[in-house]
Amino acid sequence: MFLECQKKFFKYFVYDKTLFFKYTILSFIVGVLELFGVALTYPFIIKLVNGGGGKALVFGILIASAFLFKNIFMIFYNSLQVKFTRNCETGISKKFMKYFLYGDYKTVAKIRFAQKQQILNYLIPNTVNNFLIRILNLYVNFFIFILIMAFLFIKFFAATIITLICSVILLSSQYLYFKSKTKTLASEINHAGEVTNSICNETLLNLKNVKILGGEELFFEKFCTRMENLKNISGKLLFYNIIPPYVTEPCIIILLLILLAIVSVENISDTSTLLASYAVIVTAIFRLAPTISRIQVNLTSLQTTLPLAEQLIGDYEKYNVSDLIIKEKTEKTILNNSIEFKNISFAYQDKPVLKDISFKINKGEFIGIAGVSGGGKTTLADIISGLLIPQDGEIFVDGSKVQHLNLKIGYIPQEYSLITASIRENVAFGEDNIDDEKVIDSLKKAQLYDFIVSRFEDGIYAKPFVDNSGLSQGQKQRLAIARALYLNPDILILDEATSSLDLKTEDEICNVLNSLKGEKTIIAIAHRLSTIKSADKIIFMKEAQIEAISTFDELISHNKDFQELAKLNSTYSFQ
């Protein structure tokens, strides 16, 4: 499982294969330098015992130089590791973000915000910082272990064989024991982290409702319970991760004693050789002890982070991130006369949301889209905005047939997200070169400019969105309208843009919309019928079909379903 996961990880996410190959070569060089330091100990002791002071000094200098050079080399080696892993993390993050931005809207929209956030802010950094780095550290320590053991094998064949067998038994049994523990805990902590993150999002995103309902204690208890569970699991996992070195250390001491005992029996009559052998073995074990501990820690940690790597790989495969095709940008179509839809149909997973829809929108009209929840209103707006392509039917722009719409759209959502920047940057959202005159003009059309210059000394350069928005809900919504107007769109689409506003504020927004009638084509999806009361015509939808297209007054007079919807709508008055 681990090898398969590693293979896929490097296939999907390690973009610079050449750099990784160089990294592997450098890992081998580190092992060779460690080997030189250990191997030179033997002739050093022989010369020292046999009176070769000058030559012993030379070997002593070589030993010190080998370890000094190795440590200098390790600094360079680690800097390369940092560069390699940072590049890898950045590359993976870019790939997923590109998918979220450029991927098919229908598919990407199904991925919950919390899931996107978890991939970018949790899975990617934790997988790279733990899984990938552990693999790289395992490589270098593996080379050190193999080379030193190979030297001992050549120098002390029988003793090394016996010692190696003992070490494999001791360390493998230890690894298998901790593997089962950490693997279970790793899956539990991953799930516990997701649940805790979900509770945080649910609580903080619905803070207003929580306080109104008086549910602070309930949500706080939920949060505390999840945090306690996460704490207990992570504590156990941390405990099992720090144990291996303390278990490995006595094992290494036992192995050292076994090795020394066997060498003593073999060289009992040759004092200088025996002393040199002791020195080499002690030096080798001195270098091997931390190496074996690091191998053990890395293996244990890899088991801990394996579920994260598997989940990241699973998401990558599930969403077909590698198959992303970025469509070439085409010039926006200018709307001169009309948009016409003929027999449009659309379905989500074989569930029809639009069935055989036909209607026409003339330039400059104010169109309302109304209906009960699930009637297909938002899907229809998404098709008009070009986010979705109809599965059946035909679309005509100014009489010419098009595959999908690519018009200049200004979108005003129900929930408007401010960015922590100036008013002008909020209006010109997504633009590098901001035109102040266009910002001011957009704010004036949204009937917000006079308020801004009277309220804020810095005018459009003010930053009222740090810590405190400084704007009411209605003013925020007008700012959203200004943002939508900045790029001079042909069509304004309002997606339930007034549903969370009070009646007075809604009336103010309606005045803004009425002032734009004729100048812009306005399409308003409305939960509140009062928002679209002054629309030129209303598309009334029911059960994925258009039941009627008419003015507000005609629908309220002759359409029973629309009358029923109006009665249920608290914002409509029959006076």
Over the stretch 30-46, which tens digit does the pLDDT of each residue have? 888 877 777 777 777 77
Q: Which residues of 372-409 are buried (b: 16+ CB within 10 A; e: fewer)?
A: eeebbbbbbbbbbbbbbebeebebebeeeeeeebebeb
pLDDT of res. 571: 44
- In this structure, what DSSP letter does residue 242 have? H
pLDDT of res. 526: 80
Q: Which residues contact 386 (CB under 8 A, 6 or more apart)?
A: 404, 405, 406, 407, 409
**526 to each of 165, 362, 371, 374, 554, how far by Cα in Å?**
76, 19, 8, 13, 17
Q: Determine what percent of the chain is predicted with pLDDT higher than 70.
A: 89
pLDDT over 50 at 282, yes or no: yes
Q: In what order do the strands lie in the sheet with 400-402?
A: 351-362, 338-348, 392-397, 400-402
- 575 — pLDDT class (breaks 50, 70, 90): very low
**Look-up of token digits 């890992």:** 27
The C-alpha atoms of residue 42 and residue 59 are separated, in whole angstroms, by 9
**Look-up of token digits 């007054």:** 553
Q: Which residues contact 507 (CB under 8 A, 6 or more apart)?
A: none
How many CB atoms are located within 10 Å of the residue 352 CB?
Answer: 15
Element housing 373 (H / E): none
Average pLDDT taken over every residue of the chain: 81
pLDDT of res. 393: 92
- In this structure, what DSSP letter does residue 123 have? I
Helix axes 503-516, 473-486, angle to 10 degrees: 20
Question: Is 368:524 a contact under the CB 8 Å cutoff?
Answer: yes
- 358 — pLDDT class (breaks 50, 70, 90): very high
Q: Which two tokens stand for residue 374?
A: 């699930």
What's the mean pLDDT in 147-153? 82
**pLDDT per residue as tens digits for the range 444-488:** 988 889 989 998 888 999 887 654 556 777 788 888 889 888 888
**pLDDT per residue as tens digits for the range 523-547:** 988 877 888 888 999 999 888 889 9
Q: What is the residue-wise DSSP string for 292-323?
A: HHHHHHHHHHHHHHHHHHHHHHHHHHHTTGGG
The C-alpha atoms of residue 497 and residue 180 are separated, in whole angstroms, by 53
Alpha carbon distance, N-terminus to C-terminus of the chain: 71
Residue bearing the bigger pLDDT, 67 or 423: 423
pLDDT over 70 at 431, yes or no: yes
pLDDT over 60 at 574, yes or no: no
Question: Is 377:544 a contact under the CB 8 Å cutoff?
Answer: no
pLDDT of res. 53: 62
pLDDT of res. 51: 63
Can you list the positions of beta strands (E) in 453-517? Answer: 491-495
Q: For each of the domains in the chain, give its residue range(s) and CATH number, in order of start.
A: 2-321 (1.20.1560.10), 338-568 (3.40.50.300)
The C-alpha atoms of residue 524 and residue 563 are separated, in whole angstroms, by 19
pLDDT of res. 196: 79
557 burial type by CB count under 10 A (0-12 exposed, 13-18 middle, 19+ buried): exposed
pLDDT over 70 at 101, yes or no: yes
- In this structure, what DSSP letter does residue 531 have? G
- In this structure, what DSSP letter does residue 332 have? P
**pLDDT per residue as tens digits for the range 254-274:** 777 777 777 777 677 777 777
- Long-range (24+ apart) CB contacts under 8 A made by 258-264 are 258/159, 258/162, 258/163, 258/166, 259/152, 259/156, 259/159, 259/160, 259/163, 259/285, 262/156, 262/158, 262/159, 262/162, 262/163, 263/156, 263/159
pLDDT of res. 40: 74
- Which of 317, 306, 302, 311 lies closest to 194, judged by CA? 311
pLDDT over 60 at 16, yes or no: yes
pLDDT of res. 18: 76
pLDDT of res. 345: 92
**pLDDT per residue as tens digits for the range 194-207:** 777 777 777 776 77
Supply φ then ψ for residue 166, to 5 degrees.
-60, -40
Three-class DSSP category at 537: strand
pLDDT of res. 239: 78
Residue bearing the bigger pLDDT, 298 or 170: 298
Q: What is the pTM of this model?
A: 0.74
Supply φ then ψ for residue 463, to 5 degrees.
-125, 75
**pLDDT per residue as tens digits for the range 332-345:** 888 899 999 999 99
pLDDT over 90 at 294, yes or no: no
Residue type, 232: N
**Look-up of token digits 């029911």:** 542
493 DSSP β-pair partners: 411, 523
What's the mean pLDDT in 207-234? 79
pLDDT of res. 344: 92
What's the mean pLDDT in 484-504? 80
The C-alpha atoms of residue 279 and residue 46 are separated, in whole angstroms, by 10
- 573 — pLDDT class (breaks 50, 70, 90): very low
Residue type, 21: F
- Which of 83, 247, 237 lies closest to 171, judged by CA? 247
542 DSSP β-pair partners: 545
**58 to each of 45, 151, 417, how far by Cα in Å?**
12, 21, 71
What's the mean pLDDT in 296-309? 80
pLDDT of res. 209: 67
Q: Which two tokens stand for residue 47?
A: 């010369």
